[in-house]
């Protein structure tokens, strides 16, 4: 008889259980002091700013100064302040390309500055506010430019960044669903890559995320958020209403799949490094990740955190997804078992495809420039995107 899901996850690798006990703030601080932050952390943290359009020299500068846990925010903030000042000067002098680059570099640095900061929520929100402010200033300078929008949802006004490729007719649009407690700004590289390939993009902050954090906490009813997003896009004549897709990353990949199961207007759904179910390895989630989630929930309640974990099973959602499904994952993922990608692919009932890099880490960041063209190929294969010569 085949083992059930919980039985299968009893075989969680020993290294996962070990790291959950050892990878704490105090142990990371010790590693930072001995090895430096660059060598102590997975490559994801070094590559992550590049996904926001960050600068490699800024990464090297920031990491060179981090030799203790509490030096992280200050080092990254210094980089952000330098880039923001240079961007302001460039804008005043009419050098729009330099201003745009500077604001993007600054936003990436400020985002990194607040990423691991939980001891001081006031400072965390201040740093994220600088990130969002710089990205807003960069938005109209992008080519093509981005529009700052607000999507009504219950009592929320969800902040968004909407961008279209040049086109004389309505275009397909992908909604990006971010990971655990990040912000829309972190989807810059992925979003820009699709815009360059003829796809419109909507980056947004859901409840408890990014700029929407002050409006209220994370909510479990993600399908209701999806309905608000689809309604908003359908009201824009530049959008092809039959071609609205979802692209979720990390925990946002799980959310995107649950959105697609309930929101039948979904034309395509992509899940990158998405967890299938936290029931088996949720207890081994790194303490830092648990703090991220509690921050989004705006609660220190263990009960609320446990309730959040229980929303993550995709067992009943996957059979309900009618849209073409693309699952992407890596075999060396530090945060989500690579086998989850295979389980998600196996659970899909409609048209589906899997891209799996055996040696890739979380978000396949080390394969990103190979991954993006593969996503484009799949969008064309499914009919979601027309080949370039036909646009």
Condensed to tens digits (0 to 9), the pLDDT of residues 175-193 reads 999 987 689 999 999 999 9
CA angle 86, 90, 95 (to 5 degrees): 150
Whole-number pLDDT of residue 75? 97
Q: What is the mean pLDDT of residues 105-128?
A: 92
Number of domains in the chain: 2
Average pLDDT, the chain: 88
Edge to edge, the sheet with strand 239-249 lists 146-153, 156-163, 200-204, 171-177, 239-249, 266-272, 325-330, 352-357
Residues with Cβ within 8 Å of 34's Cβ and at least 6 positions away in sequence, in order, are 40
User: Looking up tokens 């003829």, which residue turns up?
Assistant: 198
Do 57 and 27 form a contact (C-beta atoms < 8 A)?
Answer: no
Do 10 and 280 form a contact (C-beta atoms < 8 A)?
Answer: yes
CATH code at 230?
A: 3.40.50.1820
Whole-number pLDDT of residue 188? 95
For residue 22, pLDDT over 60 is answered with no
Do 294 and 180 form a contact (C-beta atoms < 8 A)?
Answer: no
Residues 135 and 186 in one domain: no
Band (pLDDT 50/70/90 cuts) for residue 84 is very high
Model pTM score: 0.90
Band (pLDDT 50/70/90 cuts) for residue 288 is low
Residue 7 lies in a domain: no
Residue 52 lies in a domain: yes
More confident residue, 294 or 246: 246
Q: What is the mean pLDDT of residues 349-374?
A: 93
Using CB atoms within 10 Å of the CB of residue 118, give its burial: 0 to 12 exposed, 13 to 18 middle, 19+ buried.
Answer: middle
Give the lowest-confidence range in 257-266, 278-287, 290-299: 278-287
Residue 326, domain extent: 144-391
Band (pLDDT 50/70/90 cuts) for residue 287 is low
Whole-number pLDDT of residue 17? 55
Residue 16 lies in a domain: no
Whole-number pLDDT of residue 8? 44
Residue 4 lies in a domain: no
CATH code at 105?
A: 1.20.1440.110
């Amino acid at each position: 008889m085949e083992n059930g899901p919980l039985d299968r996850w009893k075989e969680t690798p020993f290294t996962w259980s070990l790291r959950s006990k050892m990878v704490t703030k105090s142990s990371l601080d010790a590693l930072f002091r001995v090895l430096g932050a660059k060598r102590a952390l997975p490559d994801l943290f070094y590559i992550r700013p590049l996904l926001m359009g960050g600068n490699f020299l800024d990464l090297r500068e920031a990491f060179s100064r981090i030799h203790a846990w509490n030096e992280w925010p200050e080092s990254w903030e210094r980089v952000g302040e330098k880039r923001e000042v240079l961007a302001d000067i460039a804008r005043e002098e009419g050098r729009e390309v330099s201003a745009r680059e500077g604001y993007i570099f600054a936003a990436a640095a400020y985002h990194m500055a607040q990423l691991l900061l939980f001891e001081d929520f006031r400072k965390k929100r201040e740093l994220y506010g600088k990130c969002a402010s710089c990205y807003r200033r960069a938005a109209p300078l992008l080519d093509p430019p981005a529009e700052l929008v607000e999507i009504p949802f219950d009592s929320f006004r969800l902040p968004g960044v909407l961008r279209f490729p040049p086109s004389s007719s309505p275009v397909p649009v992908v909604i990006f669903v971010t990971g655990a407690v990040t912000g829309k700004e972190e989807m810059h590289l992925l979003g820009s890559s699709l815009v360059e390939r003829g796809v419109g993009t909507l980056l947004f902050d859901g409840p408890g995320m990014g700029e929407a954090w002050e409006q209220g906490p994370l909510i479990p009813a993600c399908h209701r958020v999806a309905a608000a997003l689809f309604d908003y896009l359908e009201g824009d004549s530049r959008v092809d209403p039959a071609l609205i897709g979802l692209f979720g990353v990390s925990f946002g990949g799980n959310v995107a799949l649950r959105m697609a199961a309930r929101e039948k207007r979904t034309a395509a759904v992509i899940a990158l490094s998405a967890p299938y179910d936290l029931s088996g390895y949720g207890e081994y989630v790194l303490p830092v990740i648990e703090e991220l989630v509690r921050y989004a929930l705006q609660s220190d309640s263990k009960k609320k955190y446990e309730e959040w974990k229980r929303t993550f099973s995709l067992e009943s959602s996957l059979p309900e997804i009618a849209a073409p499904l693309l699952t992407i994952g890596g075999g060396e993922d530090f945060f989500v078992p690579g086998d989850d990608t295979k389980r998600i692919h196996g659970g899909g009932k409609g048209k589906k495809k899997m891209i799996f890099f055996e040696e890739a880490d979380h978000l396949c960041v080390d394969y990103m420039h190979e991954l993006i063209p593969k996503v484009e190929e799949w969008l064309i294969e499914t009919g979601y995107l027309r080949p370039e010569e036909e646009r």
